[in-house]
């Protein structure tokens, strides 16, 4: 089938259609079955030989980090090299570094989803997982860097006997809300994406334990279109809610610095500069991990050189933005005429005759972040995995040094020469930092080992032939009769997709044909209460055609089970758009109201205290937390309402008695009619389904 026939379903603009459909994002002879085998197989088969030594190494590094943290907590923060004036050093450097790493995942999963960048499907799962692990790594530092980590709950507005409340005007508290919202929303987004894939793993599992674990984790997902209907909207809502987080989280982190008066920190360019740097470093980290992983697991046809190329372009663009910010800092230092500002920036370059000791860090940062990525103007460097990997590693190094320069270099020389000082990391600093890398790689390796690192269901949705051809399902009512004329096309898709469900196919014909009697499945076949009738179809086009025919014939309880959400299927089974967004909106308003009541109630009413000479009710500083809580609760409501609207968990469903029904999470397309449907009739419905191309037709009993 030519690629031009693969029209996107979202658009009717021929120009756009050509743009989207020009090249496939997954190359090679992939179909739903081989894709499931390939990706789920990674978690099912023994790991390659390198896995254990790598895991052991990472684990040892992590153990070193745990030791360093225990030593810090039991001894005191003096074991770090942080001092006066460099009160923040490795701890906050690493915190900001890791928070930044996470941004690529959110950008890929949220913003690129909204922009319908289909290439994201191959890398979004992996980079979202990296987001979560990176935020965990970052979260270590705020937890331990004040020493008495058992008082960490003081950071949260928990009612307590001391009536201690947080200062809602502090950038550090905004940061807490931003990072915890970021983590929670990313986790929910990631997990929502994982649910259909864990259903795939459940259905492929051989052992009872694996079946039970993944069965529980996926809440009994079966790929029902009545569930996809809510799922797709929930996913869209979560993407929409995560999108502002990409921009806000690092902006808020940058406020930790920008709202202070330290020369080198006190600058308005920080928020965009930090966001660009975060995406820059994050993409580098994704590439750094993805390039080796795709090579050793043979995923080159899913994560293609085109993916590398696009990500390299992101690195080039954001790296150049960051370079612009570096230049602008110097310009402002000169243009403002502030001697402290000028001093700190001259000190960075090393050209200051009385300069400090950190000029080398500055030049590592500029070289790695601005100069090195310029090689990505050449296509060879963007598409050659080795070249790109080396660039990514250097970018990661540069981004670490960027935070080091901003924090340590700015602090070591402030206004008063009398209080100048130097920072020298102690062995505990180093151990903690490498321990954090150990934690990150340990989690990543475990993730690769146990969970599908590529979003199987989503990639299935971008395969060629993933969606039936139709003339705009939005207008289907106007030309419903046209489906008869379309019959040739489903047959064509059948031919293409048939091999995907080959095993089910042969099975079905031996079952269903015989003497025209419909086989019955159930705990005690033939004696139970009839639950539903199930028919398998060769592909999405046949399934959709059958669903529409039955829907038009008056069936009310149709449901289609598909490995990925098929466009137009919701309407084809007679359902409308999900009302889930109303729950999201409710959550958003709940969050906003909570934030307003919390902040005004405490700061202006319950415990009024003057901060920064502001009026009690001055609202400007309350905006960040209002935003964060709005997003947090909207996401929470979205996920909970998804579970509720789908009626999950649904671990038990009599449909599972059907012998090939488990293919629905891999490569099978099924249509079901419930027994309580007014039009349901064992023989007649079965005959209709058969006539429409159904096979493996069976009746399940409860």
Query: Which residues sit at the interface with other proteins, rule CB under 8 A?
Result: 159-164, 202-203, 208, 211-212, 215, 220, 607-609, 649-652, 656-662
Q: How far is CA 504 from CA 141, 222, 486, 508, 697, in A?
A: 53, 17, 25, 6, 11
Tokens of 36: 């499931």
Tokens of 83: 């001092």
Q: Least distance (Å) from other proteins to the CB of residue 286? A: 35
Pick between residue 334 and residue 652 the one whose CB is nearest to other proteins: 652
398 CB-near residues (< 8 Å, 6+ apart): 364, 365, 366, 367, 368, 369, 372
Q: Which helix (H) or strand (E) holds 418?
A: none
The CA-to-CA distance between both ends of the chain, in Å, stands at 42
Give the angle 77-81-84 at the CA atoms, nearest 5°.
85
Give the single-character DSSP code of 162: T
471 CB-near residues (< 8 Å, 6+ apart): 479, 482
Other Cβ atoms less than 10 A from the Cβ of 353: the count is 6
548 CB-near residues (< 8 Å, 6+ apart): 476, 480, 483, 572
Bond preceding residue 595 cis, omega within 30 of 0: no
Q: Least distance (Å) from other proteins to the CB of residue 34? A: 20
Pick between residue 200 and residue 442 the one whose CB is nearest to other proteins: 200
Pick between residue 208 and residue 477 the one whose CB is nearest to other proteins: 208
Q: Least distance (Å) from other proteins to the CB of residue 203? A: 6
Pick between residue 226 and residue 469 the one whose CB is nearest to other proteins: 226
Pick between residue 223 and residue 271 the one whose CB is nearest to other proteins: 223
Give the single-character DSSP code of 605: I
Q: Least distance (Å) from other proteins to the CB of residue 305? A: 38
d(CA 394, CA 561): 46
Query: Of how many residues is the chain composed?
Result: 702
Pick between residue 49 and residue 610 the one whose CB is nearest to other proteins: 610
Tokens of 73: 């907590």
Range list of H helices, 297-336: 305-336
Task: Give the phi and the psi of residue 133 in degrees, each rounded to 5.
Answer: -65, -40
What sign does the CA torsion over 363, 369, 374, 380 have? positive
Of 514, 659, 512, 628, residue with least CA distance to 179 = 628
d(CA 52, CA 119): 31
Q: How far is CA 248 from CA 316, 318, 591, in A?
A: 22, 17, 17
Q: Least distance (Å) from other proteins to the CB of residue 208? A: 8
Pick between residue 161 and residue 261 the one whose CB is nearest to other proteins: 161
526: left (phi over 0), alpha (psi -120 to 50) or beta: left
CB 629 within 8 A of CB 592: yes
242: left (phi over 0), alpha (psi -120 to 50) or beta: alpha
Pick between residue 150 and residue 416 the one whose CB is nearest to other proteins: 150
Q: Least distance (Å) from other proteins to the CB of residue 652? A: 5
Q: Least distance (Å) from other proteins to the CB of residue 608? A: 8
Q: Least distance (Å) from other proteins to the CB of residue 599? A: 18
Pick between residue 552 and residue 656 the one whose CB is nearest to other proteins: 656
Range list of H helices, 145-224: 171-204, 208-217
Give the single-character DSSP code of 87: -
Pick between residue 206 and residue 477 the one whose CB is nearest to other proteins: 206
Tokens of 192: 């929502």
Q: Least distance (Å) from other proteins to the CB of residue 693? A: 22
Q: Which helix (H) or strand (E) holds 413?
A: none
Q: Least distance (Å) from other proteins to the CB of residue 201? A: 12
Q: Least distance (Å) from other proteins to the CB of residue 132? A: 23
Q: Least distance (Å) from other proteins to the CB of residue 490? A: 26
Pick between residue 154 and residue 420 the one whose CB is nearest to other proteins: 154
Pick between residue 29 and residue 159 the one whose CB is nearest to other proteins: 159
Pick between residue 218 and residue 397 the one whose CB is nearest to other proteins: 218
Pick between residue 161 and residue 488 the one whose CB is nearest to other proteins: 161
Pick between residue 166 and residue 410 the one whose CB is nearest to other proteins: 166
Q: Least distance (Å) from other proteins to the CB of residue 666? A: 10
Pick between residue 393 and residue 648 the one whose CB is nearest to other proteins: 648
Strand 520-521 and strand 695-701: the pairing is: parallel
Of 499, 546, 550, residue with least CA distance to 693 = 546
Q: Least distance (Å) from other proteins to the CB of residue 574? A: 25
Matching residue, tokens 């031919």: 495
Tokens of 427: 């062995």
Give the angle 13-17-23 at the CA atoms, nearest 5°.
170
Cross-strand bridge partners of residue 701: 530
CB 477 within 8 A of CB 483: no
Q: Least distance (Å) from other proteins to the CB of residue 506? A: 18
Q: Least distance (Å) from other proteins to the CB of residue 247? A: 34
Q: Least distance (Å) from other proteins to the CB of residue 205? A: 9
What sign does the CA torsion over 99, 101, 104, 106 have? negative
Q: Least distance (Å) from other proteins to the CB of residue 222? A: 9
Pick between residue 78 and residue 608 the one whose CB is nearest to other proteins: 608
Pick between residue 115 and residue 607 the one whose CB is nearest to other proteins: 607
Q: Which helix (H) or strand (E) holds 403?
A: helix 385-404
* Tally of helices (H runs) and strands (E runs) in the chain: 27, 5
Of 144, 44, 56, residue with least CA distance to 452 = 44
């Amino acid at each position: 089938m030519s690629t031009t026939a693969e029209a996107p379903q979202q658009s009717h603009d021929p120009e756009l259609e050509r743009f989207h459909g020009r090249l496939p994002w997954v190359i090679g002879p992939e179909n739903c079955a081989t894709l499931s085998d390939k990706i789920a197989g990674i978690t099912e088969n023994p790991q390659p030989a390198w896995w254990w030594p790598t895991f052991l190494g990472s684990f040892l590094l992590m153990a070193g980090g745990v030791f360093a943290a225990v030593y810090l907590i039991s001894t005191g923060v003096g074991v770090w090299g942080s001092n006066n004036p460099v009160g923040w050093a490795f701890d906050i450097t690493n915190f900001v570094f890791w928070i930044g790493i996470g941004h690529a995942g959110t950008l890929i999963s949220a913003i690129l989803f909204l922009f319908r960048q289909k290439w994201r499907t191959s890398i979004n799962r992996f980079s979202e997982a990296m987001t979560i692990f990176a935020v965990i790594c970052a979260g270590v530092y705020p937890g331990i860097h004040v020493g008495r980590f058992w008082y960490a709950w003081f950071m949260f507005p928990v009612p307590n006997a001391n009536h201690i409340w947080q200062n809602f005007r502090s950038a550090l508290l905004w940061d807490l809300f931003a990072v915890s919202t970021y983590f929670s929303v990313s986790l929910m987004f990631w997990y929502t994406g994982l649910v259909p894939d864990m259903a795939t793993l459940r259905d492929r599992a051989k052992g009872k334990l694996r079946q039970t674990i993944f069965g529980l984790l996926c809440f009994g997902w079966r790929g029902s279109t009545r569930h996809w209907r809510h799922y797709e909207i929930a996913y869209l809502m979560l993407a929409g809610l995560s999108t502002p987080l990409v921009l806000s989280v690092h902006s808020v982190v940058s406020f930790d610095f920008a709202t202070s008066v330290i020369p080198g920190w006190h600058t308005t360019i920080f928020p965009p500069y930090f966001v660009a740097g975060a995406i820059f470093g994050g993409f580098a980290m994704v590439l750094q991990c993805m390039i080796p992983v795709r090579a050793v697991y043979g995923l080159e046809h899913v994560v293609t050189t085109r993916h590398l190329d696009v990500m390299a372009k992101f690195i080039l663009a954001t790296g150049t933005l960051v370079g612009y910010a570096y230049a602008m800092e110097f310009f402002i230092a000169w243009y403002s005429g502030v001697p402290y500002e000028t001093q700190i920036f001259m000190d960075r370059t090393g050209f200051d005759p009385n300069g400090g000791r950190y000029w080398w860090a500055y030049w590592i940062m500029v070289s790695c972040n601005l100069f090195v990525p310029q090689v990505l103007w050449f296509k060879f460097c963007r598409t050659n995995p080795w070249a790109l990997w080396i660039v990514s590693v250097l970018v990661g190094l540069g981004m670490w040094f960027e935070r080091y320069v901003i924090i340590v270099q700015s602090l070591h020389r402030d206004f008063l020469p009398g209080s100048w000082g130097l920072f020298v990391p102690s062995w505990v600093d180093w151990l903690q930092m490498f321990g954090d890398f150990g934690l990150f790689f340990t989690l990543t390796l475990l993730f690769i080992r146990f969970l599908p690192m590529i979003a199987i269901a989503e990639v299935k949705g971008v395969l060629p032939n993933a969606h039936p051809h139709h003339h705009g399902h939005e207008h289907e009512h106007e030309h419903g009769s046209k489906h008869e004329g379309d019959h040739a096309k489903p047959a064509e898709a059948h031919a293409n997709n048939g091999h995907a469900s080959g095993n089910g196919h042969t099975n079905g014909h031996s079952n269903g044909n015989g003497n025209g009697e419909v086989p019955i499945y159930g705990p005690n076949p033939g004696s139970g209460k009839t639950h539903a009738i199930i028919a398998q179809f060769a592909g999405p086009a046949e399934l959709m055609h059958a669903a529409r025919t039955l829907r038009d014939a008056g069936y009310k309880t149709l449901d289609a089970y598909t490995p990925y959400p098929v466009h137009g299927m919701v309407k084809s089974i007679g359902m409308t758009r999900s009302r889930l967004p109303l729950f999201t909106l409710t959550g958003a308003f709940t969050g906003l109201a909570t934030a307003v009541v919390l902040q005004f109630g405490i700061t202006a009413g319950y415990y009024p205290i003057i901060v920064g000479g502001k009026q009690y009710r001055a609202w400007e500083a309350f905006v960040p937390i209002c935003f964060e809580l709005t997003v947090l609760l909207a996401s929470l409501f979205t996920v909970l309402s998804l579970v509720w609207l789908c009626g999950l968990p649904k671990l038990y469903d009599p449909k599972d008695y059907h012998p090939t029904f488990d293919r629905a999470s891999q490569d099978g397309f099924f249509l079901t009619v419930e027994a309580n449907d007014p039009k349901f009739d064992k023989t007649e419905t079965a005959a209709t389904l058969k006539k429409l191309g159904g096979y493996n037709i069976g009746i399940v009993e409860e």
